Amino acid sequence: MESSEDGSMSYREFHANGSRMVTSEVEAKLDEGNIQEAEDALREGLSLNFEEARALLGKLEYQRGNVEGALRVFDGIDLQAAIQRLQPSFSEKTPVKKGRTRTESPSSVSQHAASLVLEAIYLKSKSLQKLGKFTEAANDCKRILDAVEKIFYLGVPDIQVDNRLQEIVSHAVELLPELWKQAGCYDEAISAYRRALLSQWNLDNDCCARIQKSFVIFLLYSGVETSPPSLAVQIDGSYVPKNNLEEAILLLMIFLKNFCLGKMKWDPSVMEHLTFALSICSGTTVLAKQLEELNPGVYHRIDCWNTLALCYSGAGQNDSALNLLRKSLHKHERPNDLTSLLLAARICSEDPYLAAEGVNHAQRAISNAHGPNEHLKGVALRMLGLCLGKQAKVASSDFERSRLQSKALESLVAAIRLEPNNSDLIFELAVQYAEHRNLPAALRSARHFFNKTGGSVSKAWRLLALILSAQQRFSEAEVVTDAALDQTSRWEQGPLLRLKAKLKISQSRPMDAIETYQYLLALVQAQKKSFGSLQISSKAR
More confident residue, 392 or 111: 392
Q: What is the pLDDT of residue 189?
A: 95
At 520, the pLDDT band (50, 70, 90 cuts) reads confident
Q: Give per-residue pLDDT as tens, 441-459.
A: 999 999 999 888 887 788 8
The mean per-residue pLDDT over the stretch 93-117 comes to 53
**H or E, element range at 154:** none
Please report the domains of the chain, with CATH numbers, ordered by start residue.
1-91+105-173 (1.25.40)
> Over the stretch 403-441, which tens digit does the pLDDT of each residue have?
999 999 999 999 999 999 899 999 999 999 998 889 999
Across the range 505-523, mean pLDDT stands at 88
Around 36, how many Cα atoms within 13 Å sit in the side-chain half-sphere? 0
Residue 470: pLDDT above 80? Answer: yes
What is residue 537's predicted lDDT score, i.e. its pLDDT?
45
pLDDT digits 0-9 by tens, 1-41: 444 443 333 446 665 655 566 676 677 767 766 677 777 77
Is pLDDT above 50 for 106? Answer: no
pLDDT band at 490 (very low <50, low <70, confident <90, very high): confident
| pLDDT value at residue 357 | 96
SS (H, E, C) 222-266: CCCCCCCCCHHHCCCCCCCCCCHHHHHHHHHHHHHHHHHCCCCCC
Give the mean pLDDT of 486-495: 79
> Per-residue b/e over 348-358, b at no fewer than 16 CB within 10 Å?
bbebbebbebb
Asked if the model's pLDDT at residue 261 lies above 50, the reply is: yes
The pTM of the full predicted model, rounded to 2 decimals, is 0.76
Identify the three-state secondary structure at position 15: strand
Q: What is the enclosing helix (H) or strand (E) of 538?
A: none
Q: Residue range 139-160: average pLDDT?
A: 76
**Percent of the chain predicted with pLDDT > 90:** 45
Q: Is-contact 341 368, C-beta < 8 A? A: yes
Query: What's the pLDDT score for residue 84?
Result: 67
Closest CA to 328 of 349, 307, 352: 307
Instruction: Return the amino acid letter for 458.
Output: S
Determine the distance from the C-alpha atom of residue 502 to the mean position of all C-alpha atoms in its chain, rounded to a whole number: 48
The answer for residues whose C-beta is within 8 angstroms of residue 327's C-beta and 6 or more apart is 305, 333
Q: Which of 16-30, 63-77, 402-416, 523-537 has the highest mean pLDDT?
A: 402-416
* CA distance linking residue 365 with residue 337, whole number of Å: 8
**Residues 354-358: contacts with CB under 8 Å, at least 24 apart:** 354/322, 355/387, 355/388, 355/390, 355/391, 355/393, 355/394, 356/387, 356/391, 358/383, 358/386, 358/387, 358/390, 358/391
Average pLDDT on 319-338 reads 95
pLDDT at residue 180, rounded to an integer:
97
pLDDT above 80 for 491:
no
In this predicted model, what pLDDT tens digit does every residue of 161-217 receive, in sequence order? 567 888 999 999 999 999 999 999 999 999 999 999 988 888 999 999 999 999 999
CB 19 within 8 A of CB 46: yes
Amino acid found at 34: N
Beta strand 2-6 with 93-95 is unpaired
The 3-class secondary structure across 102-126, one letter per residue, is EECCCCHHHHHHHHHHHHHHHHHHH
The rounded mean pLDDT for the chain is 83
Give the pLDDT score at 12.
66
